[in-house]
Each structure stands twice: as structure tokens, then as C-alpha cells.
Chain A
Amino acid sequence: MGSAFAQALQLIVTGDPMLLQIIGVTLRMSLTSSATALVLGAPWGAFLAFGSSKVKSVLIVVNRTLMGLPPVVCGLLCYLMFCGVGPLRFLHLLYTVEGMIVAQVILVTPIVAGTIEAYARPLVAPVRETGVGLGMSRPRILRLMIQECRYQVFTSYLLALGRALAEVGAVSMVGGAIAYKTNVMTTAIMMYTNRGDFKMAIALGIILVGLFFLLNILAHVLQPKVVA
């Protein structure tokens, strides 16, 4: 076991090509899916945060449900859509990185929207009241509102990225963990462990945890110096 750990460190230090290839695919996938989720989820979250109506309450509950959607269920759904008899088979997304990105966007967009909605909702009334009281225009008030939420938008992006990096159910079902093509860090850890090739699995595990550590350092450093 100790030697597997040492070999894992050696893989990392020497920059093993297979290791780098897997990390590359993982980053391409998770950065794209989380960025897309941010672009779609932030306006959606803002829409959910403003005002209240029956329809909106329903949408918020639906969104909260989707936030907890098990990745394998999302993977199953996408599989059924993309597979040989699925309605979206003409897109040829099964066993491709693009297909994995689509599945992850479905998985993490509600997380971005939901966290932004929860943070922004209680700010809407006081920010609006203060802005109107100072004679501000609606676009100016909206701009202030976005400014008040910008750190939250950033952390919700990191949350989405973290989930996209760590999630294994959706990517393994849609991507199929094909070596040199759709194998990402999480699916590779499973694959190498099943094979008994622990050094690669451990190396990937170390890097994955290291990435999370980096993300959290970033979040901490950029945190506004305020006890809000």
C-alpha cells in the first residue's frame, strides 16, 4: 500500500501522460459545464428571486428538487435521450464529452439558480426600497442588486464547478468512461480501482482533493472582508 502511494506521487511529479490526459478531459468538461450553468442559472435564479406568485412558488420548489437530483438519474435521463432509440439520437452525444457536458449542465444549473435565489430574495425588498427612496432608476437598482450578490454568484459558480468535478453517476452513464476520450478523474478512479491499479487511482484522488483545496482557498481569499 505504501509503495502504491509512493508510485502515485511519482506519477504526479513526472507528469504521467495518461494522468495528464484524464485531467485535461476533466477540466475541459467541468469548466465548460459549470460556466454554461452559470450563464443559464444566474438569470434564472434572479428571475426566481424577484416577486412572488403561485407559479413562481411552484418553480422554486421544482428547482429545489432538481438541486438534489441524483446524478445517476440525470445520467439515465440523458442516456435515454441520446441512445440509439432515443429522441435526441441524431445529436450523436452518447459517449462524447459534449454529451457529458449537457448532462452536467442539467445537473448543476439548478444549483447555481437555487443558491442565488436563496441569497438574493431577502435583499430584494431592502435594496429596492433604499434605491427608490434615493430616486434611482430601475436599471440602476438592478445593477446595485447584482453588485450586492456578486460574491454569491461567484461562490455558486464554485459550488457548480465542485459538483461537476466530483460527480460520477451522470458522466459514467453518458460518457461511458472510454479511455483517451471520455474518461474523467472520477470514472478513472473507479476503473483503476476495479482493476487493482491503485497508483493511478491514488494519484487522481490526490489531485482531485488538491483541486478542491485550491477552489476553497480561492473562495476564501476573494471573500469580501465583511461580517454581513
Chain B
Amino acid sequence: MRIRNLIVRYGATTALDIGELTLKRGVCYAVIGANGCGKSTLARCIAGVIKPTSGEVGLQPDDKVRYMPQRSYAFYGSTLSNVMLGVNATAHGKERARMLIDALNLTTVARQGAKQLSGGQTARMALARTLVGQGTWLVLDEPTAALDSGSMLAAEGLIRSYRDEFDAGVILITHSLKQAKRVSDQLVFMENGHVVEQGETKRLIDDPQTPALTRFLELFGA
């Protein structure tokens, strides 16, 4: 995926301004940066939810993006029917939905109304709904922000399996450096709408090249 001169403006504010960013399939990228730096805006552009003011996200014709928004939305109907919205109701699709519901500990609430789920349960349902279908790119906007540690580790395992199973490129937005270390191969650091630094996760955390990332990591005490 090649992102070139991608600019998103809201009135006078520039939410996103990325000169060049190349992402590869089969790699998990953790996108980090302060609140309002443009992470979600980038995710929305990649998913095709918003049209950039200028520039483009260059995808292959056979690319399919699966995207989980920062705020999970529950439709009327059960947890199970919400998850099934993400996939064709084939035997294989149903099987995958059941597997994800079990893995994300939603079995007891599968037949319950999705709108009654707790915040963390709703996020788990939304993650299952995103992971249940096949895609070449997986874009997850803070998928584990509302999750307890057990569910978080389960989610991270499922994200890694998704990458391996479909050779998918994963774009994981997170505020947890520990999570980035556990899950990602590459780190993308953003500030004020720009991608300031990109590189191998462990190397970048140990040896940041820019003052901005150095400062950011210091705040984490990393």
C-alpha cells in the first residue's frame, strides 16, 4: 500500500499531511502518537470512509480493507447477528464467527441484544465482527482500549493469527507501547498529522532517531 501526499483538512485545521508512507502485507504496524495527531483520520482514509482533501491511498485492485472504528457501534439484534454482519452466512463463515465469539469470551452473551452489551463487550463484539471476514488489510483503531487484560491478550493473539492466516497487513492504532512491542513488527510514529518516524518496533523504541519520538517515549518511561 502506497500512501502519497495524503492531506485531510477540516476547515482551517490540517488533520493529516503524509508525504509518503509505504506499507507491506504480512506486516503488523503499530501506529502511535498523541491524541488528535491524526491516527483515526489516517485509518478512515485507508478504509475509504472519508475522501482525503488531496492525495491518495494506493491499493491493489484485489485489496480488501477490514476496518474497526475507534467507537464501536452495536446494531439491533443479538451479539451473534452483529458478528454475522461481517461475513457471508456460509458454513465456514458461521464456524469462524463461533470461533471468534468463543475466543473473545462472548459465548454467554451471544444470544443477548448487542445494544445491551457493556463497553468492553461491545468492543469485543466489534473486533469479532471485523476479524470474521477475510481481508488483505486489517485496520484497527484502538481495538483493546476498553478491554480487560485477559481479553486484550486474546485479542492480540487473534490479530497476529489474522496476519498469518491471510497474509494481511495490519495497521494497529494503540496508546500502549507494551502492546506495540508485543504485537507489531513496525512502528509508525505520528505527530501533528505527519508521520515523523517509521521503523522496526524494537529498534525504534530502544533508539529513536527524532527528538519528537524521544520525548514521546520519555513520557511513557520506556
Contact = CB atoms under 8 A, between A and B. Distances in A.
Interface of A: 126-130, 132-136, 144, 147-148, 224-228
Contacts of A129: 44, 47, 49, 67, 69, 73
Contact of B69 (A130, A136, A147, A148): A130
Among A126, A130, A135, A148, max chain B CB count under 10 A is at: A130
A136 B88 CA distance: 11
Centre residue among A126, A135, A144, A224 by max chain B CB count within 10 A: A135
Name, among A126, A130, A133, the residue most crowded by chain B CB atoms within 10 Å (CB to CB).
A133
Contacts, number: 58
B100 to A, nearest CB: 14
Contacts of A135: 64-66, 133, 135
Which of B44, B49, B71, B129 has the most chain A CB atoms inside 10 A of its CB?
A: B49
A226 B76 contact: yes
Given A132-B47, A134-B130, 18 more contacts: A126-B73, A128-B49, A129-B73, A130-B75, A133-B65, A133-B66, A134-B129, A135-B64, A135-B65, A135-B133, A135-B135, A144-B85, A147-B76, A148-B76, A224-B76, A226-B113, A226-B115, A228-B115
Nearest to A150: B76
Interface residues of B, number: 26
Interface in B109-149: 113, 115-116, 126, 129-130, 133, 135, 139
Contact of A134 (B44, B72, B76, B133): B133
B67 A133 contact: yes
Contacts of B73: 126-127, 129-130
Contacts of B19: none
Given A133-B68, A133-B69, A225 B48 contact: no
A128 B51 CA distance: 13
A126 B133 contact: no
Most chain A CB within a 10 A radius of its CB, from B48, B85, B135? B85
Interface string B82-98: 00011000000000000
12 contacts: A126-B73, A130-B126, A133-B68, A133-B130, A134-B86, A134-B133, A135-B64, A135-B65, A144-B75, A147-B75, A226-B115, A227-B116
Contacts of B76: 147-148, 224, 226
- State the 10 A-B residue pairs at the shortest beta-carbon distance, nearest first: A133-B67, A126-B73, A226-B115, A130-B73, A134-B86, A129-B69, A129-B49, A132-B49, A133-B47, A226-B113
A125 to B, nearest CB: 9
Contacts of B135: 135
A195 to B, nearest CB: 51
B113 to A, nearest CB: 6
Contact of A132 (B48, B72, B113, B133): B48
Give the one of B66, B75, B139 with max A CB within 10 A.
B75
Contacts of B139: 133
B138 to A, nearest CB: 10
Contacts of A126: 69, 71, 73
Nearest to B141: A133
Contacts of A224: 76
A225 B114 CA distance: 11
A132 B75 CA distance: 14
Nearest to B82: A130
Contacts of A132: 47-49, 67
A226 B78 CA distance: 11
Contacts of B116: 226-227
